[in-house]
Each structure stands twice: as structure tokens, then as C-alpha cells.
Amino acid sequence: MKLLDPTSEQKPAQRERVTRPQSLDGLTIGLLDISKSRGDVFLDRIETHLAQRNLKVNRYIKPTFTRPAPIELQQQIATECDVVVEGLAD
Amino acid sequence: MSTHSLIAVVKQDCPTCTLIAPVLRQIGKRDESLAVYTQDNPDFPTGIANLIDDTGLEHSYRLNIETVPTLLRFEKGREVARTVGWHRGDWETVSGISPLGADLPESRPGCGSKSIEPGIAEKLAVQFGETVLAARRIEVGSLEDEIETCFARGWSDGLPVVPPTEERIMHMLSGTTRAPDELVGIVPPNYNKCTVEKVAINAVLAGCKPEYLPVVLAAVETALTEAFCMHGLLATTFFAGPMIVVNGPITREIGMNARVNALGQGNRANATIGRALQLVIRNIGGGVPGGIDRAMLGNPGKYTFCFAEREDDSPWESLAVERGYSPDASTVSLFAASGVTPIMDQASRDPDALCRSFAACLKADGHPKHANSPPPVLVISPEHTRRYADAGWSKTQFRDTLNQYLQLPVAELLEGVGGIPEGIRTKDKKTIPKFRNNTLHIVRAGGDAGLFSALISSWGGSQSITKEITP
């Protein structure tokens, strides 16, 4: 399906990503384990690095990698974190 | 080879087409140039050598067929004659063969062509016509929901919008005689060009019918006048947004509500016309809340605020007539509107008392110690209007009397008086009008029952403007 743009077409046709932060200073970083094998090993290592830089880290776990995260977990991460890192593959 | 050819367009579902099937066979035997295009059953009619399947309706669209059967004659590739329905004489003339269908009645009307059925014409125009739409195409992924796409792109005011497909926009544009690329104006706050096509796209988003489009276009043009000051109205921290009052015959033609719950929900024309204007400001102008729209609270009318004046049974001239338009003209009037405040008076029986009562309520507009306030709209109910009609009061008499009671004593309004710092500074007068230039916009609307009227506060930077609606 094609839709016709109702705007003044000053933004790219491709939907833009959310702007990336310039720096992680002062931000809360969520580490999401999607329950895939050895994802925790990867995220533990990331957490160690972030902790060395004195950054605030929250850990989360999805019940299963086969389905999207439950709405409650999505909302919790969205309200508690500024950026999220997740391990996608094993 | 013959320099002429004959084309007939038929559908089996049409009784006249089945009636004249033998005539087509008769013509086919005498003139082998005959081609019969069939819109529904590709095997109808039987016994035709050159029978062409037009169930896709491309030929019907290109030949501009409105009625079946249609018989056309081409000379050297150019159409020179056509007849619709069945009229023996005409068929004989166009085909050059006579007598035709000797055992048939002299004439029979045809049926509508499938190519002009509702919703089909726009599809065919998109499929086979030369596209006139200039707007950028946005591809929706096969797994995406198109309404969610509209939300994700930021095209919505928070409620679902109708996805603007090419077919829907073509259908919307059928509501105006204006060209899609005609410039309507420059939309603040980003001062982007706005064409008829872009307004039509936003009218689709808003849920308008094509017959509302002329009203939307007039409203957009009015909002873009310098005096209305849409940029300031958008940017203010105050509550106001644009409100549209529609007058004239178009309000009845498109079924606008001027009666019960006129300022409320439930009428498609009222709801979608007001919404379309707001979506134009949002999408074309780039005016979004938190961006240039700095309203501290806003008001629910910023989703949509549009209604018709109840003028057909009014004892008074309408707002548009007061502003110099004929009662036969259809107009939009725009106001900067900050929401609805009830005025309740169920006790006043004589017109003068009701004026005093109205004035007492109107004095509180904005703040009871404010004067020279921007002129608000007084929406007067049928029951309140009747108090004046029964006493033989004209609208002018009502307005003059009301203004007389809206002269406020300066001494009571000065800063600090009553322990309230808010107030005015002027000391060189004894009285001061509540509203700037003693102006008050009076519009009659509402249901039959209810001794209430309404004050709709304004915003000082905008001037109310009226424009005639044109096709």
C-alpha cells in the first residue's frame, strides 16, 4: 500500500530514528537479556565496562526470546532508562 | 480496409443490453468492424465475432462510458458519433445500417456503466488515468498496519486518521472544481506552501466527505489571512485555537449540525471540517504542541471546533448577513476560540432583564477586572432568542442594549482594587467597555429546549474573518 504524504515533505521519506545521545553521561542504561543462550555473558561484560565509567545500569530479562517483551516490561524499561542495549543472537 | 469502426459497450446485467443483443449480432453480420466490449460477463452477448473482455473496465474508462449500451462510431481513429441506451433512429444513424431491431420497441433507456459505480471511478482514474497528484508516496510495509503508520509518521492529532490513499484523495478532489496544484496559501509556523491537493490529503486524514472540501478550503484560506494571525494563535500560551462558524445553504446541503449539541460531538461534517483545518496546520505548517504550539493547557476544541449557525428559523439576521453577505451565500467565519463557558438564565422574562443577566456573565470573560478584552462569541440559544423575538427586538437593539450594560466602572477595575493586583491602569475615564470597540460576535445555535447560552472567549491577537465558500 502507498500513502500520499500530507506534510510539507521536508523530512526524509524514510522514517527517522530517534536521535542518538551525544554522550552517555548522566543517562540510565538498560541491559536487556532476551533469554537467549549466553546473552547474559555478553551483557555481564558490557555492565562491567559501563560500571568502570560510573554509569547507572539496570538489568532486565525477557521471559522468552521467541515473543516480544510483555507490555509491562516494555513500559518499565521505557520509564526507567534513557538507552537500552540488548543481545540479539547467540 | 474500411476507414471507420464501430464500438459497442454493454453489460449483461442491463436489461436494455440483453434486449438489443440481437441488434448487435445484426450489425456484426453487416459490418465486421464492430467490436463489442462487455463489462461483466465476457461471454455476453453470444454470436459476436469481435467480443472483447472489459471486466477490468479500462476501455470503458478510456472511452468515458457513462451508460450501457453505448454505440460509438470512429472515422480514421477519431470518435465522430455516439448514442447511449437504445433509440432505433440513433442506432441506425451511428451504425449506418437500417432497419435495425424491427421487432424491438422504439427506445429504451440504458443502465449505468460499471466504470462509474461509486468508488470505482476513482480506482480507474488512479489505475488508468494520468496521475495528477504530486505528493510524495510513502510505502507502507506489508506487515505494517496503515493506521499505525499514520500515527508513527506523526500525521495524527492523537485520534486515528483515515489513511490517505491515491483513490481516497482523487475522490476527495472530486468535491472541488479547483486544480490540485493550485496554491491555497502559505501555512505557518514553518511557512510551507499549501496546495489544494495537500488540503485534500489532510481532509482525507480528518474523515471528510468530498462535498465538505470547499468548506475546508475556505476555512484554510481564512485561517491564512494576515488579520486572523494563525501563527500567533498557534504559538500563544493561551487556550485558543481556530473555530469555524459556517453560514448559508451549504450547511443544510452537507448536513451540518446547528441544533441539539451543536458545539458537541456526533456530526461528521462539524467534526471533520474543524479537524481538517487543525491537521493542515499540523502537517503542512508543522505546528505541533510542544513545538511552536506553546499552549499552556489548550482546550478540547483544538481537536476540532466547527458548527453551523441555526439561521433557517431565526428571527434575526445571521452573522454572515451582518457582515454583508447575502443569505444565499455560504460562508465560513473564523474565530480564535478558547473554549465554552455556560451562561445560565432561566428566570428573566423580559428582554432588558436578560441583557443585564448576559452582561453580568460576560463581564467575567478572562477576568472580571479586565476591560477592552478581545471580542468573544456569544452563542445565543433559540429559547433565549425567543425572549427578544417575542418582544419585537432586533439584533441591533439587543446588541446595543447589551453593550450599554457592558460599560464597566473604571474605579472597580483598577489594579489592587478588591485586594486583587490584576486590573487596569486607565484613570482618565469613568467607564470603559468590557469588549474592545464594543464588539461582540453573536451567533444563534442549539437545540429547542434550554434557557442557556454560551460565551466563547477569544484571544487578543486575532481578528475574526469571514470568507465566501466557492466550489
- Read off the pLDDT of residues B327-341 as tens digits, 9 standing for 90 and up: 999 999 999 999 999
Q: Which of B123, B132, B136, B283 to mutate to test the interface with A (most CBs of A within 10 A)?
A: B136
In DSSP notation, B357-418 reads HHHHHHTTSS-TT--SBPP-EEEE-HHHHHHHHHTT--HHHHHHHHHHHTEEEHHHHBTTGG
DSSP tally for chain A: helices H, then strands E:
2, 4
Mean pLDDT taken over chain B? 96
Please tell me the distance from the alpha carbon of residue B281 to that of residue B304, in angstroms, as a whole number. 12
Nearest Cα residue in chain B from A2:
B139
Q: Which sign does the torsion angle of CA B47, B50, B54, B60 carry?
A: negative
Whether residue B227 lies within 8 A of chain A, CB to CB, comes out as no
Beta-strand pair B431-433/B183-187 = unpaired
Distance from CA of A33 to the nearest CA of B (A): 26
Residue B332 · residue B469 · CB < 8 Å: yes
Is B150's Cβ below 8 Å from some Cβ in A?
yes
B451 three-class SS: coil
| B42 Cα to chain A: minimum distance (Å) | 30
| Interval B362-369 mean pLDDT | 97
Chain A residues whose beta carbon lies within 8 Å of the beta carbon of residue B285: 8
Query: B133 at the A interface (CB within 8 A)?
Result: yes
| Mean pLDDT score, B356-375 | 97
Structural domains of chain B sorted by starting position, each given as residue range(s) with its CATH number in brackets = 4-118 (3.40.30.10), 148-468 (no CATH)
How far is B82 from B180, CA to CA, in rounded Å? Answer: 31
User: Which residues in chain B are closer than 8 Å to A2, comparing Cβ atoms?
Assistant: 137-140, 165-166
Scan for cell 504530486, then name that residue: B134
With CB atoms and an 8 Å threshold, state whether A1 touches B165: yes
CB B417 within 8 A of CB B423: yes
> What's the CA gap between B370 and A15, in Å, rounded?
48
Cell of A88: 540479539
Q: Is B286's CB within 8 Å of A10's CB?
A: yes
Question: B140 — contact with chain A (CB < 8 Å)?
Answer: yes
Q: What is the CA radius of gyration of chain A?
A: 17
* Cα–Cα distance for residue pair B444/B297, rounded to 1 Å: 28
Which residues are CB-contacts of B83 (< 8 A; sequence separation ≥ 6)? B70, B71, B90, B91, B93, B94
For A16-58, write each residue's pLDDT tens digit: 888 899 999 999 999 999 998 889 999 999 999 999 999 999 9
Tell me whether residues A9 and B135 touch, CB distance under 8 A: yes
Instruction: Please state, for a pLDDT cut of 70, what percent of chain A lies above it.
Output: 99
Residue with cell 474592545: B436
**DSSP H helical segments within B161-318, as ranges?**
166-173, 196-206, 213-223, 230-235, 249-253, 268-279
Asked if the model's pLDDT at residue B356 lies above 70, the reply is yes
Best probe of the A interface among B133, B137, B138, by most A CBs < 10 A, is B138
User: Does A15 contact chain B (CB < 8 Å)?
Assistant: yes
Whether B426 shows a pLDDT value over 90: the answer reads: no
pLDDT band at A90 (very low <50, low <70, confident <90, very high): low
The reply to whether residue A3 touches residue B193, judged by beta carbons under 8 angstroms, is no
Return the pLDDT at B404.
97
Identify the band that residue B293 occupies on the pLDDT scale cut at 50, 70 and 90: very high
Q: Provide the pLDDT for residue B2.
A: 63
CB pair distance less than 8 Å for B284 and A7: yes
Closest-CA residue of chain A to B138:
A3
- Please give the average per-residue pLDDT across B414-435, as a whole number: 93
Q: Cβ contact (<8 Å) for A5 and B169? A: no
Q: How many Å apart are CA B320 and CA B424, to the nearest integer?
A: 34
Answer for the pair A60, A31: CB distance below 8 angstroms, yes or no. Answer: yes
Q: Which three cell numbers stand for residue B163?
A: 489513511
Q: Do A6 and B163 touch (CB under 8 A)?
A: no
The per-residue pLDDT for B363 is 97
pLDDT, one tens digit per residue, over B265-285 is 999 999 999 999 999 999 999
Residue in A closest to B197 by C-alpha = A6
Q: How confident is the model at residue B132 (pLDDT cuts 50, 70, 90)?
A: confident
Average pLDDT over every residue of B440-453: 98
Q: Assign B166 to helix, strand or coil.
A: helix
Closest CA in chain B for residue A5 = B136
**CB contacts, 8 Å: A7 with chain B:** 153, 155, 283-284, 286
Rounded average pLDDT over B160-181:
96
Average the pLDDT over A64-78 and give the result.
93
Closest CB from A3, A8, A13 relative to B149? A3
Residue among A2, A3, A17 with most chain B CBs within 10 A, to mutate: A3
Taking only residues 26 to 65 of chain A, the set having a beta carbon closer than 8 angstroms to any beta carbon of chain B reads none
Q: Name residue, grid cell 491537493.
A: B197
pLDDT at B176 > cutoff 80: yes
From the list B417, B467, B461, the residue with the least C-alpha distance to B436 is: B461
Q: What are B408's strand-pairing partners?
A: B432
User: Residue B414 has what pLDDT?
Assistant: 95
Asked if residue B1 has pLDDT above 60, the reply is: no
Instruction: Flag whether the ipTM exceeds 0.85.
Output: no
CB B163 within 8 A of CB A1: yes
The C-alpha atoms of residue B39 and residue B200 are separated, in whole angstroms, by 31
Mean pLDDT in residue range B448-461:
97
The whole-angstrom separation of Cα B428 and Cα B409 is: 12
Q: Give tens-digit pLDDT for B243-252.
A: 999 999 999 9
Residue B407 one-letter amino acid: Q
Residue A18 touches chain B, beta carbons under 8 Å: no
Residue among B153, B201, B202 minimizing CB distance to A15:
B153
Query: What angle separates helix B395-405 from helix B351-362, to the nearest 10 degrees?
Result: 50
The per-residue pLDDT for B119 is 79
Cross-chain CB nearest to A3 (options B163, B190, B279): B163
pLDDT digits (tens, 9 = 90+) for B63-96: 999 999 999 999 999 999 999 999 999 999 999 9
Residue range B105-109: mean pLDDT, rounded: 95
Give the pLDDT score at B453.
98
Give me the pLDDT at residue B183, please: 97
User: Which residues fall within 8 angstroms of residue B201, CB to CB, at 6 or more apart?
Assistant: A4, A5, A6, B135, B164, B169, B172
Q: Averaged over B208-231, what is the pLDDT?
A: 98
- Does the distance separating the beta carbons of A5 and B137 come in below 8 Å? yes
Q: Angle at the Cα of B189 (from B330 to B247), degrees rounded to 5?
A: 10
- Alpha-helical runs (H) found in B207-350: 213-223, 230-235, 249-253, 268-279, 319-322
Distance of residue A9 Cα from the nearest chain B Cα, in angstroms: 7
Q: Which of residues 246-285 of B touch A (CB under 8 A)?
A: 279, 283-285
